[in-house]
Amino acid sequence: MSEQVVLGVDVGGTNVKAAIVSVSGEVMTAVSYPTDAEDGPERFVQRLYEQFIKLLQKSGCQLTDVLSVGVGLAGFLDVEHGYIEEAVNLHWRNVAIVQLLSESLHLPIYLDNDANIAALGEAWQGAGQNAKSVLCVTLGTGVGGGIVLDGQIYRGVSTMAGEIGHITVKPGGPLCNCGRHGCLETLASATALVNMGVAHGLHSPSGGTANAEEIFALAKAGHRDAQQVIQELVNWLGVGLGIAANLLNPDKIVIAGGLVNAGDALMDPLRASFAANALQRVYRSCELLPATLGSRAGMLGAARLAIQGAALENSVL
């Protein structure tokens, strides 16, 4: 008998990443293809079915080997009822996505948002392995977060747990897309870093606005304004992490997103800022680590969600 497997699906605004993953965590085969969200959710489901069949063929697995499907996407979700209330990057509203998928794939479907799924992936196969409690923070356009407790996603009563990007760290500060002022993501995201670079007159070697990677390169080369804006970002991020860690007391905080590519230039000062803003007993018992899975975190997290769902409902694992 073949090993049982699941389908893990990470739906981004640009691309979908999907993989057949064994219950032991081996990626049997994977694919990335355009989301083409403008074609609508029904066409999205049809394409996913087509890719699923191809993945099965490549992996050598049979449909009967597949236990379930896990799906992660960005947006406001009703996880309990399998419903997308609004997915801004897909331009979808009020979509019964689990019903559409189950009718097409004829398998149990498990849904969660992308930040939770990435956190679950890192807790299972990445930097958060063997931790009882993991806070995963993603630094990108905004600041996202996911919480994994004892191997399970913690969602909160309305699936909004982990929204660390919307902790108010500077009352009256910059206006956030959520409509409030001074949220962490207005001060500690990749977008915030670029905006601070603009305010300090930092330029790309090509003459345009310096992006986050270029700001770190300038800082490494000794540019004092670049060093200053990075330190400002790190200071605010340390405040947010300190608040979150004092509340959760996690044993690992995993930092994900493109800024992590800066390596020690980000992580070393961030650890110092975190230590300055968290209670001593909190930061001393908490590892602050860069994510290790990169773009595979969502796909693997979705697979883990599917495995957990199958185990809970069928008691087969």
Q: Is 134 helix (H, G, I), strand (E, B) or coil?
A: strand
Which domains, and CATH codes, for the chain?
A: 5-113+295-314 (3.30.420.40), 127-292 (3.30.420.40)
Strand residue runs (E) in the chain: 5-11, 15-22, 27-34, 66-73, 76-78, 83-87, 92-95, 109-113, 133-139, 143-149, 152-153, 252-256, 287-290
DSSP letter for each residue of 248-303: H--SEEEEESGGGGGTHHHHHHHHHHHHHHS-HHHHHT-EEEE-SSGGGHHHHHHH
Quote the pLDDT of residue 248: 96
Q: Find the helix packing angle between 97-105 and 41-59, rounded to 10°.
A: 40
Residue pair 233/193 in contact by the 8 Å Cβ criterion: yes
Residue pair 123/151 in contact by the 8 Å Cβ criterion: yes
pTM, 2 dp:
0.92
- Distance from C-alpha of 84 to C-alpha of 69, rounded to nearest angstrom: 17
* Tens digits of pLDDT across the chain (317 residues): 468 999 999 999 899 999 999 999 999 999 999 999 999 999 999 999 999 999 999 999 999 999 999 999 988 899 999 999 999 889 999 999 999 999 999 999 999 999 999 999 999 999 999 999 999 999 988 899 999 999 999 999 988 899 999 999 999 999 998 899 999 999 999 999 999 999 999 998 888 899 999 999 999 999 999 999 999 999 999 999 999 999 999 999 999 998 999 999 999 999 999 999 999 999 999 999 999 999 999 999 999 999 999 988 765 44
Cβ neighbours of residue 268 under 8 Å, at least 6 residues apart?
none
